[in-house]
Structure 1
Amino acid sequence: MRLDKRLTLAIPPLVWLGWYFLPAAPPFRAIAEHWPISVTMAFGSFIAGATSEAGGAVAFPVFTKILGIPAGQAKLFSLATQSIGMGSALLTILLLRIRVEWRAVFWAVLGSVPMLCLGLMTADLIPASAVRMLFTVTQSSFALALWWHNRDSNRDRHASLPAFGGRERLTLLSFGMLGGLISGLMGSGLEIIVFSVLVLWFRLCEKAATPTVIVMMVLTSWSGFAMIYATGRFVAPVTDYWLAAIPIVAMGAPLGVYVCSRMSRVAVVYTLLGLIGLELLSSLLLIPLTAQLSLAAIALFLAFSCVYYSMYRSRRYLDRAPTLR
């Protein structure tokens, strides 16, 4: 085993050591009191490392729909926990020398961070049910687009960005801004928005796009965590939930990265589709749907789907770079 691979095994113990000596309540008591959080993040952190979904994409619906945690607390928890779990995943990506499209990372994060701040400031103005439904709509419309994308097994999929000029920078900056705003409202969202652009528009292979969006979400989560800490919003019970999750995500996210590096592209795709299908079903069963909320959700779903479909149908980046099948 290479030295860099062996070093990945040291990531969880180092995080556990720091977690144990945090100047807060006894950490093991946090796990005992909030064990459903730990169980949720065992699954969520693995998914965050293995797919383009951040850990908050699992935590947010489970917290708000099953555990009855307010959406505002779930959002803050997602950003704080992703800063640890996906930070561990980032170290794993670097040590395993997994390829990342750093140009895409720079421009997407440049757009996401200012809009993340805006989303954090305005989230309390939006009803919790609307925020939960917005989460479902963004996920479901992307699942439909990803299904379109994978119906054609002969569709070109690039191993790297096929071009990188002013148009590509502006595209990544714009969608980074949209993803940052959604992340500010829900704690995650940047990863699925930018993943859609990389896969549908730039025709990047899903396995190449996944580590790239993980790095984007790490940098955005760190920025969000710094914002909520600086504004005094990182307080109990969110801090207690965070303590219960840290030792779990420090192990789950790196494990997910390693498994993803061994998975086929098709397996990554169908894992995503299955997760999003479960999320949609839970929303239909658990969110009280008024006529106004239903109409707004349908309108947003159609809008996102039209954008995704137009990217899917585009031939701009067809045969512009070496491809994967």
Structure 2
Amino acid sequence: MSIRPSRKQHLWIWFLWLAGFYAVWSWLVFGHDKWQDVTEHWPIAMAMAMGSYVAGSTPMGGGTVGFPILVLLFDLPASLGRDFSFAVQSIGMTSASIFILSRRLPLAWAMLKGAMLGTVIGLPAGIYWVAPYVPDLWIKIVFAVIWASFGVLHLYRIGEIASHDGMTEFDERWDFRVGFWGGLFAAATVTSVTGVGIDMVLYAMLVLLCRADLKIAIPTSVVIMAFASVYGIGFKNAFTGVQPGVYENWLAAAPVVALGAPLGVFVVNLIGRKPTLLFVAVLCVGQFVWTCHTERVALGYGGLALSILAVGACLLVFEKLRAWGAVLVGEAKAKKKAASGGGDVGEAAVESAL
């Protein structure tokens, strides 16, 4: 597994990025008389102060907060929430990624590169052939289900996830392939529909399959979401267009997330990732309950039951990943050996899986 060790930091790169961004933002706002649009959309800027911290300190992008605020609280179309997620994360997650790279934090490079290639192929395919056929109601439900399952996973597995140290060493070609197929699937389905999600998929593969340390898994998930967001909003602007209202909300939120997401990267190292993940996990479950309550009439009893079953199905996938990871690292065979006094089969388990 290619994990680059910490070297001399180059934070001047991040400060240069900030100076350039705020110069361009000021020109867009004051040079084009858009200050009124910024002040009219101050609530989303306030919400993204929290969202950007979540984006930098957890494997959930800033859209994790921005999407439900726009869609559930402000009652705007889910398609606008999706496009806003792409737009706002293209600044917040990019700023956090530049901060991460400037500080030379360790990343799972082989899997990250595979996920990037999968995104390049999968995201346009999803934007063209998946997202247009998903109604607004089901965009909300897809978002709610995936984030709820992620929250529940952390509520009962947080001790194990937070205890990982370093990362299991597999073959880099294997890591690349896993990253590619995971990125392709997530980009074509979840991310193209909701504007977020590929970061959580990559994170899940790292912590459940590779037993990666959170200090490796979370920064890697931030970088892949930055890549997907910039690529997604650029592609939509060039070929399909974005929903009306995205630009005005982006103008208000962008200067907040440019600082907030890197702040999340920094602060979480001081207070620890476990408390932050638990807090966000509760939010993820809460937004599922909120969505089901808000859409209970449209969903009906059948839709509500299907949504709950979908959360269970996602958890089953996570548990399958975890079980596969146990085989890969030889945990299951090591326990059997300890119980029976058999031969050294841990390495054989890894070799056969690869």
Equivalences for residues 210-289 of structure 1 within 5 A: 210-231=218-239, 233-234=241-242, 236-288=244-296, 289=299
SS at match of 2:215: helix
Aligned-pair distance for 1:157? 1.6
SS at match of 1:99: coil
Q: Distance in 2 between matches of 1:197 and 1:152?
A: 14
User: Deviation per CA, 1:248-296, whole angstroms, max 9, x where unpaired?
Assistant: 1111111111112333242243233233133223223322332342243
The one-letter amino acid paired with 2:141 is: M
Partner of 2:103 in structure 1? 96
Aligned-pair distance for 1:47? 1.0
Aligned length: 319
The one-letter amino acid paired with 1:306 is: L
Question: Do structure 1's residue 293 and structure 2's residue 303 form an aligned pair?
Answer: yes
Aligned-pair distance for 1:51? 1.0
Aligned-pair distance for 1:210? 0.5
TM-score normalised by L of structure 2: 0.82
Partner of 1:317 in structure 2? 329
Partner of 2:28 in structure 1? 22
Partner of 2:180 in structure 1? 173
Equivalences for residues 40-55 of structure 1 within 5 A: 40-55=47-62
Aligned-pair distance for 1:152? 4.5
SS at match of 1:231: helix
Question: Which of the two has greater helix per residue?
Answer: 2
Question: Do structure 1's residue 119 and structure 2's residue 119 form an aligned pair?
Answer: no
The CA RMSD over aligned residues, in Å, is: 2.5
User: Deviation per CA, 1:75-119, whole angstroms, max 9, x where unpaired?
Assistant: 111101111111111111112221111111111121123222222
Partner of 1:4 in structure 2? 10
Do the aligned residues in 1 keep the contact of 2:53 with 2:260 (CA within 8 Å)?
A: yes
Q: Distance in 2 between matches of 1:318 and 1:147?
A: 25
* % identical aligned pairs: 26
Do the aligned residues in 1 keep the contact of 2:83 with 2:243 (CA within 8 Å)?
A: no
Do the aligned residues in 1 keep the contact of 2:118 with 2:181 (CA within 8 Å)?
A: yes
Do the aligned residues in 1 keep the contact of 2:56 with 2:265 (CA within 8 Å)?
A: yes
TM-score normalised by L of structure 1: 0.89
Q: Distance in 2 between matches of 1:279 and 1:86?
A: 22
SS at match of 1:162: coil
Change in CA separation of 1:164 and 1:192 when aligned onto 2, cut-off 3 Å:
same
Instruction: Identify unmatched segments of 5+ residues in structure 1.
Output: none
The match for 1:157 among 155, 158, 164 is: 164
Rg comparison, structure with higher value: 2
Q: Distance in 2 between matches of 1:296 and 1:170?
A: 32
Q: Distance in 2 between matches of 1:200 and 1:58?
A: 24
Partner of 1:182 in structure 2? 190
Do the aligned residues in 2 keep the contact of 1:72 with 1:124 (CA within 8 Å)?
A: no
Do the aligned residues in 1 keep the contact of 2:186 with 2:198 (CA within 8 Å)?
A: yes
The one-letter amino acid paired with 1:69 is: L
The match for 2:136 among 128, 135, 160 is: 128
Aligned-pair distance for 1:52? 0.9
Q: Distance in 1 between matches of 2:262 and 2:315?
A: 32
Considering Cα pairs closer than 8 Å and 6+ residues apart, tell me whether 1 or 2 has the greater RCO. 1
SS at match of 1:21: helix
Q: Which moved more, 1:133-142 or 1:14-23?
A: 14-23
Do the aligned residues in 1 keep the contact of 2:92 with 2:261 (CA within 8 Å)?
A: yes
Partner of 2:217 in structure 1? 209
SS at match of 2:10: helix
Q: Distance in 1 between matches of 2:260 and 2:193?
A: 25
Change in CA separation of 1:193 and 1:182 when aligned onto 2, cut-off 3 Å:
same
Do the aligned residues in 2 keep the contact of 1:38 with 1:248 (CA within 8 Å)?
A: yes
Q: Distance in 2 between matches of 1:10 and 1:318?
A: 46
Aligned-pair distance for 1:200? 1.2
Q: Distance in 1 between matches of 2:94 and 2:216?
A: 18
Do the aligned residues in 1 keep the contact of 2:110 with 2:173 (CA within 8 Å)?
A: no
SS at match of 2:104: coil
Q: Which moved more, 1:20-29 or 1:175-184?
A: 20-29
Change in CA separation of 1:105 and 1:239 when aligned onto 2, cut-off 3 Å:
same
Q: Distance in 2 between matches of 1:184 and 1:292?
A: 26
Aligned-pair distance for 1:156? 6.1
Instruction: Identify unmatched segments of 5+ residues in structure 2.
Output: 1-7, 332-345, 348-354
Do the aligned residues in 1 keep the contact of 2:14 with 2:95 (CA within 8 Å)?
A: no
User: Deviation per CA, 1:120-175, whole angstroms, max 9, x where unpaired?
Assistant: 2232321211111111111122222233433458x962413421344433322222
The one-letter amino acid paired with 1:296 is: L
Q: Distance in 2 between matches of 1:3 and 1:104?
A: 23
